[in-house]
Amino acid sequence: MLDPGFVAIRQRIMTLICEHSIDLPQAPSTVFAALDDFDRLPEWHAHCEGLAKQGHGPHAAGDKLRYAHCEGGKHRLMDGVIVTHEAPRRLTCRYFDKAMSVVVDFQLEPLDGGTRARHRIEITPQSLMARMTAAMIHAKADEQAREALRNLERLLARRVAA
């Protein structure tokens, strides 16, 4: 028999959501190309150590991924999959491990010759420890998302200047 307290905690699984947007002077195709260049992800996402697609060829929905990142000095790996790959409008990936499931979504809209980039992260804690630290995870993820957009903006500006 399960402890009623454990059952109550299990039933309270919630998804943590971070949403941000940024207006960029580059066209959606240029912004999408930067997002779709997995080799360059560590340049604008500070906690990313690498993102690799399993297999060859252009990225497509259904492709399996392996995401390496560092959080709190600990190196971690997550499996993943490309959920949506609609150049130059949308790129969505889902990552998961024992502790959490994370959906990372970018939607790009043309805006006066540039792009409005909408970035959404959905984190669903899976483990008891992740659920207990959900508020801290949400705050860190929210700051990381803002920082990533600022870094992406700088990366794109450097590409234009080069």
Read off the pTM.
0.88
pLDDT at 162: 64
What residues in the chain have per-residue pLDDT under 70? Answer: 1-13, 161-162
Express the helix, strand and coil content of the chain in percent, nearest 5 each.
35, 40, 25
Q: What are the pLDDT digits (tens) for 122-159?
A: 999 998 889 899 989 999 999 999 999 999 999 999 87
CA neighbor of 105 nearest in space, from 80, 130, 127: 80
Q: At what angle are helices 134-161 and 28-36 packed, to 10 degrees?
A: 120
CA neighbor of 45 nearest in space, from 152, 156, 138, 158: 152
For the chain, list the domains and their CATH numbers.
13-161 (3.30.530.20)
CB 57 within 8 A of CB 63: no
